[in-house]
Amino acid sequence: MKRWLAPIFLLLTGCVSAAPGSKSPAVVLHGQRFSAEFATDEPSREHGLMMRTTLAPDHCMLFVFSYTAPQAFWMKNTLIPLDILYFDTDRRLVSMQLDVPPCKADPCPIYPSDAPARYVLELSAGTARRIGAKAGDELRIEGDIGPVR
């Protein structure tokens, strides 16, 4: 293959993998779409957004559990303030912890849900208030969550 054809070939193969109709992982809440990272196993749920210094306003992390129960999160090694939203099995918003600050003390405070939850969404602090999220709102998930462990 000619040397100048290689970059064109790579570009075209990238276009095929991003075919129309394919969607990157995202969630939609109260009419707002957020690109999402899914945390579906114990190691990814434990690590979450630790050690990150920023979270784009249109980005989030969705924690998916294989069971529904009261959930509790903490901010150990989390450097950015967050909104933590809890959703039940039907993906209805059941609880919110807003403007949760980074943990600067040890032990870190715990932020529990007020009701059993299966999905937990972390957004940049202030986002839930800005979009008008409220109890009962439905979370729509776009993309393949994959196996939940």
9-20 tens-digit pLDDT: 333 333 333 334
- Considering the four listed CATH numbers 2.60.40.1580, 3.90.1720.10, 2.60.120.1140, 1.10.3720.10, the one that applies to the domain covering 23-142 is 2.60.120.1140
Q: Please measure the distance between the N-terminal and C-terminal CA atoms of the chain and give it in whole angstroms.
A: 45
List the structure tokens of 4.
């100048």
Tally the residues of the chain.
149
Q: Is 48 helix (H, G, I), strand (E, B) or coil?
A: coil
37 beta partners: 61
Residue 66: in which H helix or E strand, if any? strand 59-69
pTM given for the model: 0.83
The tens digit of pLDDT for each residue in 46-93 reads 999 999 999 999 999 999 999 999 999 999 999 999 999 999 999 999
State the pairing for strand pair 93-100/139-142: unpaired
Which amino acid, residue 91? Answer: R
The domains of the chain are located at: 23-142
